[in-house]
Amino acid sequence: MQALIITTPGSADVLSIQDVRRPIPSNSELLVRVKASGLNRADILQRRGYYPAPPGVPANIPGLEYAGVVEEVGQAVTRFSPGDRVMGLVGGGACADYLVTHEDLALPIPAHLDYQNAAALPEAFITAYDAMVLQGGLKENGTVAITAASSGVGTAAIQIAKELNATTFGSTRTREKVNHLEDLGLTHAVCGEAKELSQTIQDSELDGVDVVLDLVGGPGVNHLIRALRSQGTLVLVGLMGGARADLNLGELLAKRATLQGTVLRSRPNHQKRDLIDKTRSVLLPLFESGVLKPVVHNVFKLDEARAAHIALESNEHTGKIVLDHT
């Protein structure tokens, strides 16, 4: 089979399509013929040499989410059969013709979604739901602030929060993206970064928001703590703004706030299974009814992966960038 290979750490030029051995499913695994894969920041970091793949997954084949068709099943598989359309998260290796995954970690693709849209679903919506709702504690009629709201996770979080009838504040760096975010259901769009987002919340009638979903990190964390209500929660998901911040611990104490960090890729499988079960019961029905929709900005062929990586790094997209394997 063919796969996208990171030949050495570096720029997008180090990516190459090469022939590799097709994986073999074990008793409880599916062999999936990949039709499309979603591109994520983790792929960029892995390509640069900053985010190595976890044990047990291909070290040089990127790709954390996929959509495709079950080709073969292990003897102990009960959930799926050959020919079923599936999507899901993997620790790596999705940028290839085939991958293997445990049946408990795969999800059925809603009937009305094509493979490209299905590939844009798992990472964004599972991350947003887990971080904002399960860990952040956002509830019906609550309030939430979202940095990098035009990202894949950001556009997913806006839709999930809208379903909870929550008031949402979201930041984006470019005014051209504001209308799109408002169309998705964002209540208050802010053109700026963490400082401007925090100031908008402080200038509102609210005493702060219940949850901050921070996809950026860096020095802006201090501004976002200021935007929390008393006993609010800031969930840190991404580090696009940097991995270090000079925290104002006095403000954190005064608000009795919670600062929570989260990551999906390195979690043990039993935790991933629990999260997939919640996704299956809570989120999938909302996709099947059309309440939630993946946001795909652009689609590149797998052999155009270099251009896709460059496009993701440009930060000009709204939603997801997808690789088409067909």
The verdict on 273 and 290 lying in the same domain is yes
Q: Please provide residue 69's backbone torsions phi and psi, each rounded to the nearest 5 degrees.
A: -120, 135
pLDDT of residue 132: 98
Domain shared by 86 and 178, yes or no: no
- Containing structural domain, residue 35: 2-121+266-324
Q: How confident is the model at residue 266 (pLDDT cuts 50, 70, 90)?
A: confident
Average pLDDT, stretch 79-95? Answer: 97
List, for residues 200-218, the tens digit of each pLDDT value: 999 999 999 999 999 999 9
Same domain, 143 and 205: yes
Strands (E), 80-191: 85-89, 98-102, 106-108, 143-146, 167-172, 188-191
- Examine the fold and report which residue of 218, 242, 261 is the final residue of a domain before the chain moves on: 261
Please indicate, yes or no, whether residues 205 and 272 belong to a single structural domain of this protein: no
Give residue 69's pLDDT. Answer: 98
pLDDT of residue 175: 87
**pLDDT the model gives residue 228:** 98
Same domain, 316 and 225: no
What is the pLDDT confidence band of residue 272, given thresholds at 50, 70 and 90? very high
Q: Mark whether 241 and 282 lie in a shared domain.
A: no
With cut-offs at 50, 70 and 90, classify the pLDDT of residue 174: confident
Domain boundary among 261, 293, 309: 261
Tell me: do 157 and 64 sit in the same domain. no
pLDDT of residue 192: 95
Give the total number of structural domains in the chain.
2
CATH assignment of the domain containing 152 = 3.40.50.720
| Residue closest to 58 by CA, chosen among 96, 85, 84 | 96
Using pLDDT thresholds of 50, 70 and 90, give the confidence band for residue 16.
very high
Q: Is 203 in the same domain as 290? A: no
* DSSP 8-state class, residue 142: -
* 144 shares a domain with 54: no
In this structure, of 13-17, 49-53, 297-301, the range with the lowest mean pLDDT score is 49-53
Q: Are residues 134 and 243 in the same domain?
A: yes
Calpha distance 144→165 (Å, rounded): 11
Task: State the CATH number of the domain containing residue 90.
Answer: 3.90.180.10
Write down the residue that tokens 């909870």 correspond to.
164
User: What pLDDT, on the 0 to 100 scale, is given for residue 176?
Assistant: 87
Q: Which residue has the tokens 């359309």?
A: 85
Whether 170 shows a pLDDT value over 90: the answer reads: yes
* 277 vs 60: CA distance, rounded Å: 29
| Whether the predicted pLDDT of 64 surpasses 90 | yes
Q: Which two tokens stand for residue 188?
A: 């208050």
**Which residues are bridge partners to 299 per DSSP?**
322
In this prediction the pTM is 0.96
Is residue 154 located within the same domain as residue 220? Answer: yes
If asked whether residues 17 and 74 sit together in one domain, one would say: yes
Q: Which amino acid is at 225?
A: I
Considering the chain, what percentage of its residues have pLDDT values greater than 70?
Answer: 100
Q: Which of 227, 246, 261 is the C-terminal boundary of a domain?
A: 261
